[in-house]
Amino acid sequence: MVRKVKNKKPGISLFVTILMIGVITAFVYHSIITLGNQQTFKDEYDNRTTSVPPAKIESASSVPISPDKLNSPNAILIRLKDHTILMQKNSAEKIYPASLTKIMTAIVAIENLPDLKEKIVLTNSTFQGLYEADASMAGFQPGEQVRAIDLLYGVMLPSGAECCGGLADQIAGSEQNFVKLMNQKAAGLGMKNTHFENSTGLHNANHYTTAKDLAILLSYALQNNTFREIFSSSRHSTQPSNKHPGGITFYSTMFEDLNNQNIIGGEILGGKTGYTDEAGLCLASLARVGKQEYILISAGAKGDHQSEQYNITDALAVYNGIGKR
């Protein structure tokens, strides 16, 4: 009996030793893989060019209006403070942005102009093709010398196509070169489903985006004080120029369409409308409800400039829905 017990001890010890080695090896391997994954994630995060944090998803029940009740087939609502998506409807679907394009035109121009008070001459070539395309115009004339800041207001409030062209020529030498800056900016912001062909939003089959990408863009642009000031203005009067001694007064197309309608518990602070036959009625807006700010992007609503403005109707419905909570 004693001899048998002694003979078993080496076998048991060997088994326990092998088992412990296996456990230690597995633990070390798991630790290495975990640390490696954490480092890979950190490297990917650090290397991203993201000026706006990735959006978080919150239950659609946080907004007491169903996306299906909107007139717009594409929409996204984001709480600006933490970039939480509160509601979305086909927000990753390809759309034509129409004049919502001018949000990108404005922020790229602001970031590339050393002096917003400098005067820019609008040449004949700036106006080429705009009247024929029935583009929205701010009211400037060929040969007019205009401050850059007045052109920026002309881009955003009356949606002036000649203002886009004047800024593009001044900054990049041509609209084509300026559009390259727009696309570079879009890529840098992570707007993965966006491509621009012009600075105005005139229809082009290869000029497209998504509601979600536009929300990324607007969230970014609103961090710029100059952009926010322009975006939230209902009117602006330019300085006298060689063609307009009394200046020109612009009015925001959104505030005109809004027609002094209020929302429950807050106000619509600013916005940019857009429309082409292919894009439908579009709107990018900023509102404050309670103590929070929200942005809503909507696109593709049926109608035109003569019909009911369903893009405005949708904004009022969504923001009032937040106010009723």
Pick out the residues of the known binding site for substrate: 272
> Rounded CA gap, 179 and 199, in Å?
6
Collapse the DSSP code of 32 into the 3-class scheme (helix H, G, I; strand E, B; otherwise coil) and give the result: helix
Torsion, CA 277, CA 192, CA 92, CA 301, rounded to 10: -20
Residue corresponding to tokens 């009211």: 139
Distance between first and last Cα of the chain? 82
Q: What angle do CA 256, 162, 128 make, to 5 degrees?
A: 135
Catalytic residue among 72, 89, 91, 99: 99
> Rounded CA gap, 307 and 309, in Å?
6
- Is 69 a residue of the active site? no
Catalytic residue among 72, 89, 102, 212: 102
> Rounded CA gap, 106 and 229, in Å?
12
Query: Which residues define the annotated binding site?
Result: 272
Closest listed residue to residue 75, CA positions, set 64, 65, 66, 87 = 87
Burial 144-181 (b: 16+ CB within 10 A, else e): bebbbbbbbbbbbbbbbbbbbbbbbbbbbeebeebbeb
**8 A C-beta contact, residue 140 and residue 163:** yes
- Is 66 a residue of the active site? no
Spell out the residues 6+ positions from residue 127 whose beta carbon is closer than 8 angstroms to its own: 142, 162, 165
- Is 99 a residue of the active site? yes
Residue corresponding to tokens 């925001």: 252
What residue type is 278 in one-letter code?
Answer: E
Catalytic residue among 72, 91, 159, 285: 159
- Beta-bridge partners for 95: 209
Q: Looking at the annotation, which residues are catalytic?
A: 99, 102, 159
